[in-house]
Amino acid sequence: MANTPWRAAIERMLVRMEDTTGRVGMRFPHWANTDTGEWVSTAHGDWTGGYWVGMNWLAHRLTGDRKYEQRAAAACERLRPRIHADTVFRSFPLYYGAALGAILGDQPAARAMALECAHAMVQSFDPDLKLIALGRQAEEGSHIGTSETSIDSMQTATLLYWAATVDDDLAMRNIAFHHADRILSLHLRDDDSFIQSSSLDPHTGALVRHYTHKGWSDTSTWGRAQAWGMIHAVMAYLRDPKQKQWLAAAVRGADWWMAHVPADKIAYWDFDDPDIPATERDATATAIATAALLKLATAAPPGRRQEYQDFAEATAMALIKQCLTPTRTGDPRTPGTLTTCCFNKRADARPHDAASNCEFIVGSYYLLESLAMLDGVIEPHLI
């Protein structure tokens, strides 16, 4: 491969991956102190562990080095306890940790795990709500009730669409459609921003209220909610291109992002924080948005594609220059560490999620995915 800025950044991130492998061993990296490089880790992956596995699947595709494939396969197996967890968010580890092994590496064991999870999730579909709710074991589910949903949970549709295609399962495909369509209709606001969360009437499915688990207020636009809306809408559309309304939603969300993100392209943790500019940035939300824009650059109406490509490239370059630690003498930090991530700064955050200026494995995954797309190794519609 040519020595592009993207390839140079990939090489830096591979250095950090090697360092992370030595630090976490059999556990899954969750978030890290960017000064020391030390990770808060989880035993079974939580909702984030699949992103670490996914990074290794990507690294194998990027380098051809079988050590990444072997690490990914071994770590994927350790995600098995998540398959039947009572949470819609189990789709994150089983898509990025297992389905990617099938998509990128034709791994039969990973494929079987992802399919098992998808079939289990079908059983959680609520016909009254027309979606799969958060579940009792969701990150916030234990204290908010069982008829709650969020824009984050739209990711489940991508796992279900993939599995429905593999198994030629029309019923599963129908559930994937209803879940995605309902989530988007609930969370895309009239001004084209996304609200994170909704409470629904458990009997009728009617909307009771909108709010946010992680943003500044119940009416603000949390940075990651906007990014989740963009990427999940375009990913669902790529799996079901007849649903033009999902592409329209992705375009609306992306246009809002481009109009509201700071000039330096690194989003604030919440677009409505009254302390802006003296508040945290979020490289994770920014990396997710970059991946979404690159997918839109191949899916949007032809007249808009170059605009999304250019904005994605500028955002990726901003992340590399401003947030990705360099390879240079005198900097004690490990090269390829994605700094400036805001995981959860709310007072009600779970103790192991409370980090507002850190490295977050989710952001690292999406930056590596974006770099792989920019370097021409991964086609944007593939994953």
Residue 367 predicted with pLDDT over 90: yes
d(CA 352, CA 344): 10
Query: pLDDT tens across 163-191, in order?
Result: 999 999 999 999 999 999 999 999 999 99
Predicted confidence at residue 55, as pLDDT, reads 98
Residue 237 predicted with pLDDT over 50: yes
Q: Which is nearest to 269 in space by CA: 358, 334, 190?
A: 358
Residue 109 predicted with pLDDT over 50: yes
d(CA 4, CA 55): 20
Predicted confidence at residue 372, as pLDDT, reads 98
Predicted confidence at residue 141, as pLDDT, reads 46
Predicted confidence at residue 139, as pLDDT, reads 65
Mean pLDDT for all residues in the chain: 95
Percent of the chain with pLDDT over 90: 90
Q: Which is nearest to 284 in space by CA: 327, 345, 233?
A: 345
Predicted confidence at residue 144, as pLDDT, reads 54
Residue 289 predicted with pLDDT over 90: yes
- Residue 126 pairs in a beta bridge with 131
Query: pLDDT tens across 204-218, in order?
Result: 999 999 999 899 999
Q: What are phi and psi of 28, to 5 degrees?
A: -115, 130
Domains along the sequence of the chain with CATH: 5-374 (1.50.10.10)
Residue 330 predicted with pLDDT over 60: yes
Q: Which is nearest to 155 in space by CA: 136, 137, 132?
A: 132
Residue 36 predicted with pLDDT over 90: yes
Is 0.95 surpassed by the pTM of this model? yes
Query: pLDDT tens across 136-170, in order?
Result: 877 654 445 678 999 999 999 999 999 999 999 99
Helix (H, G, I), strand (E, B) or coil at 370: helix
Token pair of 250, please?
Answer: 């992705």
- Residue 27 pairs in a beta bridge with none
Token pair of 340, please?
Answer: 């400036």
Residue indicated by tokens 């090489």: 11
Q: Which is nearest to 337 in space by CA: 18, 6, 2, 5?
A: 18
pLDDT band at 313 (very low <50, low <70, confident <90, very high): very high
Query: pLDDT tens across 242-264, in order?
Result: 999 999 999 999 999 999 999 99
The dihedral through the CA atoms of 148, 153, 159, 161 has a sign that is positive
Percent of the chain with pLDDT over 70: 97
Instruction: For strands 125-126 and 131-132, give the pairing.
Output: antiparallel
Which has the higher per-residue pLDDT, 352 or 294?
Answer: 294
282 CB-near residues (< 8 Å, 6+ apart):
223, 224, 266, 267, 268, 269, 340, 341, 342, 363
Q: What is the mean pLDDT of residues 76-92?
A: 96
d(CA 199, CA 203): 12
